[in-house]
């Protein structure tokens, strides 16, 4: 099948005496979370479609250490970072694309001081570049035409690294109706999962953060909420479910939207 994905590992490439031009850092959520796995495979479809020489680390990849660092465990973070850097440097990796803004932030900002110097981009930036280069072009009859779409800024892509435009540019290429949430871009509201919150119960309060966010989403009545982070995906998806809006609002990653719009999954 033409669109069947084959995912090379850096080890396999090395065995053939090759190195990847870009390493796809899958991340823990992208590797293990079922919903996020679908996004991961879609990113592979995009990479494969445009013929980029890429690879993943596969079983050699390990948590970047981001949740440990944000929860105060600098030891564990640096252990993870140094092991990962050894692996990445061993494969002579120069450029990394990742689907997780938390991995993106850590690899880009916190690895260099520990000896890991790479050009790190988020998948929405890669997709934007591919659109600009004309390598990706939404099909004429794609499903998003005229749909009402909004975008939820992940904190670690937006505020943390000021990537606001790339995901929006991708959505703008769709000929859809884009609406902004009341709290967007630098004023965006967190989904509630960062800083280790993904792995614990919230402290007591009036409501959960993802409910606050999803209420804001519901207010503007979009058909699709675009996400760009596996943690945000989980929180938004759960919010939509709790609010019983699953039939009206779909939560999709920018990568999934791209694959669908370009008919890469057929």
Q: Which of residues 36-55 bind other proteins (CB under 8 A)?
A: 37, 40-41, 44
Q: Which of 259, 201, 198, 220 shows the shortest CA–CA distance to 5?
A: 259
Neighbours of 185 (CB within 10 A): 15
Residues 127-156 that bind other proteins (CB under 8 A): 155-156
In sign, the C-alpha dihedral spanning 266, 46, 259, 9 is positive
Candidate residues 13, 94, 212, 218; the one interacting with other proteins per rule CB under 8 A: 212
Under the binding rule (CB under 8 A), the answer on residue 90 touching other proteins is no
Under the binding rule (CB under 8 A), the answer on residue 28 touching other proteins is yes
Residue 49: CB minimum distance to other proteins, A: 14
Candidate residues 46, 47, 56, 93; the one interacting with other proteins per rule CB under 8 A: 56
Residue 170: CB minimum distance to other proteins, A: 21
Burial call 193-228: b when 16+ CB within 10 Å, e when fewer: bbbebbeeeeeeeeebbbbbbbebbbeeebebbbbb
Under the binding rule (CB under 8 A), the answer on residue 5 touching other proteins is yes
Under the binding rule (CB under 8 A), the answer on residue 87 touching other proteins is no
- Separation of alpha carbons 262 and 266, rounded Å: 10
Instruction: Give the nearer residue to other proteins in terms of CB position, either 23 or 131.
Output: 23
Instruction: State how far Cα 156 lies from the chain centre.
Output: 10
Residues 95-134 that bind other proteins (CB under 8 A): 105, 108-110, 113-114
Under the binding rule (CB under 8 A), the answer on residue 180 touching other proteins is no
Stretch that binds other proteins, among 12-20, 23-31, 46-54, 125-133 (CB under 8 A): 23-31
Stretch that binds other proteins, among 118-126, 130-138, 165-173, 203-211 (CB under 8 A): 203-211
- Helix (H) or strand (E) run with residue 120 in it: strand 119-122
Residue 34: CB minimum distance to other proteins, A: 9
- From residue 44, alpha-carbon distances to 30, 71, 258 in Å are 12, 31, 12
């Amino acid at each position: 099948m033409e669109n069947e994905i084959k995912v090379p590992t850096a080890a396999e490439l090395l065995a053939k005496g090759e190195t990847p031009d870009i390493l796809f850092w899958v991340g823990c959520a992208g590797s293990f979370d079922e919903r996020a796995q679908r996004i991961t495979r879609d990113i592979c479809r995009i990479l494969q479609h445009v013929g980029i020489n890429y690879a993943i680390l596969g079983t050699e990849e390990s948590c970047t250490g981001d949740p440990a660092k944000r929860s105060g465990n600098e030891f564990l973070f640096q252990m993870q970072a140094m092991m990962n850097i050894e692996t990445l440097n061993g494969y002579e990796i120069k450029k990394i694309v990742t689907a997780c803004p938390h991995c993106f932030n850590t690899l880009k900002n916190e690895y260099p001081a520990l000896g890991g110097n790479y050009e790190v981009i988020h998948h929405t930036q890669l997709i934007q570049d591919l659109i600009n280069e004309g390598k990706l072009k939404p099909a004429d009859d794609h499903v998003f035409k005229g749909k009402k779409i909004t975008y939820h800024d992940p904190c670690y892509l937006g505020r943390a690294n000021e990537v606001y435009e790339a995901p929006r540019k991708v959505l703008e290429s769709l000929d859809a109706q884009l609406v902004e949430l009341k709290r967007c871009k630098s004023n965006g509201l967190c989904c509630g999962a960062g800083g280790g919150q993904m792995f614990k119960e919230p402290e007591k309060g009036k409501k959960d953060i993802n409910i606050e966010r999803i209420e804001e989403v519901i207010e503007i009545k979009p058909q699709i909420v675009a996400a760009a982070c596996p943690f945000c995906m989980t929180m938004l998806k759960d919010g939509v479910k709790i609010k019983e809006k699953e039939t009206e609002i779909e939560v999709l990653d920018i990568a999934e939207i791209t694959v669908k719009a370009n008919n890469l999954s057929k």
